[in-house]
Structure 1
Amino acid sequence: MRNPRLLPPDRPGLPASPSSPLFPSLLNVAVLLLASAIGAVAFVAPFFSLETALPGDGGALSHAADAPFFLILLIVICLGAVLLNLSAGQMNTRTVAVLGILTAFNAVLRALPGPGGFNAIFFLPILAGHVYGATFGFLLGSLSLLVSALLGGGVGPWLPFQMFATGWVGMLGALAPSWPRHPRREVLLLAAWGLFLGLLFGAIMNLWFWPFVFRPDQAALYWQPGLGLAGILQRYLPFYLVTSLAWDLWRAGGNALLILFLGLPVLRLLRRFQLRFRFEITPEE
């Protein structure tokens, strides 16, 4: 149910604001499903390989052969989503402009130093996905990583996987319930959600290189061909706890703190723009 306090007064020539999200269409559902399916294939394909990683192999060459293909495919999907929404009238020039501005600003945030594994690049995708919907959050997260990489963040076989994972963070931001009448509760909920998404990002990103690394003295922590799902989980969980959890806690905690301290004004600003997106001038009868 819409919050009447967020809606401007009725004026001649302006229809009532719809209650649907910014990108309310089956088209966007299909785009997200397609992008997510391709991303899932990119992450899990190595687990169907019959080759065992050799000692000394590392993540630097992981996916060196297929990463360019997935990168190009993801860029095409993102640009195609924008064009399709423009042609369908579900995005306009103002929406695209805001997406571009937030993408550029978010790419700059990635360059800001932080302790441990903290990075501020997840703050805006979570909040924008929460306010504008899953498609906007996915586009903002994915394109931010692309722009950041081109600006000096580093282009390598890891890039498409970072784009998929950050896009999913923005997409999942839309799942948090919206409580505009209780903004403090909403911010607390989003902070907890940001904490979870920070840990989830790290757990997913490890999968891009984990099947390609192996240490004989810690064989129980690494993947080997022939393992079923249960065997993979039994090895991956201790690997994650030993190698990644400490870093991911910095990222997750940073997400929560940023949302707690800056979430309320940023949500208000995003919703102020959202009201402008939802209105079209129509001739008076």
Structure 2
Amino acid sequence: MSKEPSPKTQMQIIIAVLIFCLGAFIYLAPLYFKGSTFDPNAGPFNWGLVATIFVGLSVLGFWYEFERSAKGAKEIALVSMLGTISALSRLPFAAMLNFQPCTFFIICSGYVFGPVAGFMVASLTALISNFFLGHGPWTPYQMFTWGLVGITAGWLRKLNLSPKTSIIVLAVFGFLWGWLYGIIINVWFWTSFVFPLTLKTYLYTLANAVIWDATHALANVLFIIIFGAKVINILERFKKRFYWDVQN
């Protein structure tokens, strides 16, 4: 018999579904509010600001969840260390059209330590690296979108894949997220600098980022295939050493 999810897990699922629905409502608003009071092209609402506030609140919510669920200072220190390593790894690749290992580190961290830890490593990656590369309205979007990568990577662990199969699955996963990352992250640019906000202008925004997204997807695949098994083994040793209990 399958084990019933705990009340805590059920609440996390409900919250995740609500966040997804609210996020979809906000992100897609320009497409279905045309001509109404909520029309972002003519109405009083700044949907770029609304979306940014939503993203920021989502990030703060996950930070609170991690702080509440962490069992000791060692777990917090380990996640902080992984986030710092991931952030610093971005700097040497800053001029290489989004060819960087950050998403790779985030995927491995989420896969080994679970969804919440994966989100924390991801959000720290954007927060720390942008102190060197520049903060702006894109920062909360990067924290949120990379956070989704870490969360979904944590879910993959529940498939109980063999080591060889897991690398193949993670490579495909990384390739898909190379494109999904661009689809989500470009919302900030679209709502801030493009007018009017229509499906056509959004697709045009995505088309201008094709090279960046393709390079990102390629980098994820290469890093996972070449370094994935070794990095995951190292993180697994840290997990055992710190007695990490993945409950989320």
TM-score range (shorter-chain normalised) is: 0.7 to 0.9
Give the TM-score normalised by structure 1.
Answer: 0.67
Number of equivalent positions:
230
Which of 140, 146, 156 is matched with 1:160 structurally?
A: 140
8 A contact 1:112–1:120 mirrored in 2:
no
Measured in 2, the distance between the counterparts of 1:237 and 1:96 equals 40
**Moved beyond 6 Å, runs of 4+:** 178-181
Using a 3 Å threshold, how does the CA distance of structure 1 residues 214 and 25 change in structure 2: closer, same or farther? Answer: closer
Q: What's the counterpart of residue 187 of structure 2?
A: 207
8 A contact 1:107–1:147 mirrored in 2:
yes
What secondary structure does 2:137 align onto?
coil
Which of 39, 44, 56 is matched with 1:50 structurally?
A: 39
What secondary structure does 1:176 align onto?
helix
| Shift of residue 157, structure 1, vs aligned partner | 1.3
Q: Does 1:137 align with 2:137?
A: no
Q: What does residue range 29-40 of structure 1 map to in structure 2 within 5 Å? A: 29=13, 32-33=16-17, 36=20, 39-40=23-24
8 A contact 1:123–1:255 mirrored in 2:
yes
Q: Does 1:243 align with 2:202?
A: no
Using a 3 Å threshold, how does the CA distance of structure 1 residues 40 and 208 change in structure 2: closer, same or farther? Answer: farther
What secondary structure does 1:116 align onto?
coil
Letter paired with 2:127: L
What secondary structure does 1:112 align onto?
helix
What secondary structure does 2:227 align onto?
helix
Measured in 2, the distance between the counterparts of 1:92 and 1:130 equals 21
Q: Specify every segment of 5 or more residues in structure 1 that has no aligned partner in the other structure, as ranges.
A: 1-23, 54-60, 216-221, 225-231, 281-285
Letter paired with 1:85: S
Q: Whose Rg is larger? A: 1
Q: Does 1:189 align with 2:189?
A: no
Letter paired with 1:157: P
Q: What's the counterpart of residue 82 of structure 1?
A: 66
| Shift of residue 160, structure 1, vs aligned partner | 1.1
Structure whose residues are more often helix by fraction = 2
Using a 3 Å threshold, how does the CA distance of structure 1 residues 147 and 31 change in structure 2: closer, same or farther? Answer: farther
| Shift of residue 46, structure 1, vs aligned partner | 5.0
| Shift of residue 178, structure 1, vs aligned partner | 6.4
How large is the RMSD of aligned CA atoms in angstroms?
3.3
8 A contact 1:129–1:173 mirrored in 2:
yes
Q: What does residue range 216-255 of structure 1 map to in structure 2 within 5 Å? A: 223-224=197-198, 232=199, 236-237=202-203, 239-240=205-206, 242-255=207-220
Give the TM-score normalised by structure 2.
Answer: 0.76
Q: What's the counterpart of residue 121 of structure 1?
A: 102
| Shift of residue 40, structure 1, vs aligned partner | 4.5
Q: Specify every segment of 5 or more residues in structure 2 that has no aligned partner in the other structure, as ranges.
A: 1-7
Q: Which fold has the larger relative contact order, with Cα–Cα distance below 8 Å and residues 6 or more apart in sequence?
A: 1
Using a 3 Å threshold, how does the CA distance of structure 1 residues 214 and 78 change in structure 2: closer, same or farther? Answer: closer
* Aligned-residue identity in percent: 28
